[in-house]
Structure 1
Amino acid sequence: MLEYRQNRLGLEPLKSNKIATSSENFDSLEFRRVQCRGFFDEKKSIYVGPRSRSISGVTENGYYLITPLLPSPDDPNSLQTPILVNRGWVPRSWRDKALKVSKDDELSSVASTPAQESAKSSWWRFWSKKPIIVEEHSPAINSVEVLGVVRGSEKPSIFVPANDPGTSQWFYIDVPAIARTCGLPENTLYIEDINDNVNLSNPYPVPKDANTLIRSSVMPQDHLNYTLTWYSLSAAVTFMAIKRLKPKKSWR
């Protein structure tokens, strides 16, 4: 398995705009590198965690930041369909700030009712002698280049709580569920960013490195090591128990 992943990561990166949107095709592309160009829809970011990260021996809790990457208009090199990008690890403060902004936006949208806006508009049209010119300022779109690796959903253990999208609680990566929450199809492509060009002035998010991707949380060799260790301990304990319980011979 380790060699298989290394070989896959060593292949030439694919262009995202040439990948067909098929879940079966995505399964066959796992651990292939993909080069994408588009812009991030920051307001639909998902925070998965908490996930710990050790820095100089100090462990800090944070989250994985997953954001939809959308096609850039008028860019021939842009991806053709949206994808999900795990941009890497961010501190807990990022999620706290995002939740606060989301809550403030909801409160402000409730406060400004359509009736108030309509009354204000009617009053202004009545008293103003100048024509009203409404200028629409569309936000600037900053296209980004992303080099990522195709991955799938995580398989949580029995100790991991269930995700709760309604309260923005994501404990593990469930690609179809995250895609639905972001308003995307369930078969949306999911990649993990592996760019090494980290801006020291703005180091977050911290992408995964290739070695972390190659080694899963528990590799087959680790399973073998655990098995040998437990069998050795069991044999040692059994031998000691038999030796202790065995009646001693009495010499007369």
Structure 2
Amino acid sequence: MLEYRQNRLRMDPLNCNEVSPSGENVDSLEFCRVLCRGVFDEKKSIFIGPRSRSISGVTENGYYVITPLMPLANDPKSVQAPILVNRGWVPRNWRDKSLEMAAADEQPSSIAPPSQESGKSSWWMFSSKKNKVEEDQVPTVKPTEVIGVIRGSEKPSIFVPANDPNSFQWFYVDVSAIARACGLPENTLYIEAINDNVDPSNPYPIPKDTNTLVRSSVMPQDHLNYTFTWYSLSAAVTFMAYKRLQSKKTRR
């Protein structure tokens, strides 16, 4: 399994527009790298966690942020359909700020609509500024290029709580549910961004490194190590109990 994933990650990245979002195709392409180009819709970001991260020996809680990458008009290299991108780990305050912004957007505006009189008196102001507005250049959206790895939904253990989209609580990756929450089709492609060259001046989000990607939560070798450890402990406890009982018998 480990070698299979490593070989997949060594392959040249595919163009994400060549990948069909059908379930069978995605399963066969899992751990393949893809190159995607578009613009992130930050307002629809989903935060998965909390997930801990050890930094210089200090454990810090944070979240994985998943953001839709949207197509760019008049850009032939852009994605043709939205995809979900796990951009990496971010501190807890990223989620707090996102929730605050979402709550502020839901509040009704306190600005009263202009009256008819003010509209009549200000029409000339709009007319005088019209030429200036036309001269101003419309700001262009800078595209973002992402290299990521095709992944599927996580399989949570029995100890992981259920996701609650209504309260913005996401404890594990459920691709179809996250896509619905973002207003996207359930079969939306999901990738995890990878980047070994993190800019120290702008470190967040921190994408997963390749070593983390190739290792699942519990690899087969880990199962073997756990089994050996528990059997060793059981044997040691049994031997100590036997010696203690034997010493009591000799005293009698």
* Fold conserved between structures, TM > 0.5: yes
Task: Give RMSD over aligned pairs.
Answer: 2.3
Equivalent position of 2:109 in the other structure? 111
CA distance in 2, matches of 1:148, 1:250: 69
| Structure 1 residue 190 displacement after superposition | 0.6
Equivalent position of 2:232 in the other structure? 232
Is 1:157 aligned to residue 157 of structure 2?
yes
Is 1:200 aligned to residue 200 of structure 2?
yes
- Displacement over 6 Å in runs of 4+: 134-139
SS of 1:130 mapped into structure 2 = helix
Equivalent position of 1:248 in the other structure? 249
CA 1:52 to 1:138, structure 2 compared with 1: closer, same or farther past 3 Å? farther
Deviations 1:100-139 (A, max 9, x none): 11111212xx1348xx43xx25333343453856879976
Deviations 1:9-53 (A, max 9, x none): 111111011111212111111100011011100110111111111
CA 1:129 to 1:30, structure 2 compared with 1: closer, same or farther past 3 Å? closer
Is 1:83 aligned to residue 79 of structure 2?
no
Equivalent position of 1:60 in the other structure? 60
Equivalent position of 2:221 in the other structure? 221
In the alignment of these two chains, the number of paired residues is 245
Equivalent position of 1:7 in the other structure? 7
CA distance in 2, matches of 1:206, 1:50: 15
SS of 2:249 mapped into structure 1 = coil
The residue correspondences of 1:99-138 to structure 2 (distance < 5 A) are: 99-107=99-107, 110-112=108-110, 116-117=112-113, 120-128=114-122, 130=124, 132=126
| Structure 1 residue 70 displacement after superposition | 0.7
CA distance in 2, matches of 1:170, 1:23: 22
CA distance in 2, matches of 1:95, 1:190: 20
SS of 1:34 mapped into structure 2 = strand
CA distance in 1, matches of 2:16, 2:182: 19
The unaligned stretches of length 5 or more in structure 2 are none
CA distance in 1, matches of 2:201, 2:236: 55
| Structure 1 residue 180 displacement after superposition | 0.6
The TM-score normalised by the length of structure 2 is: 0.89
SS of 2:84 mapped into structure 1 = strand
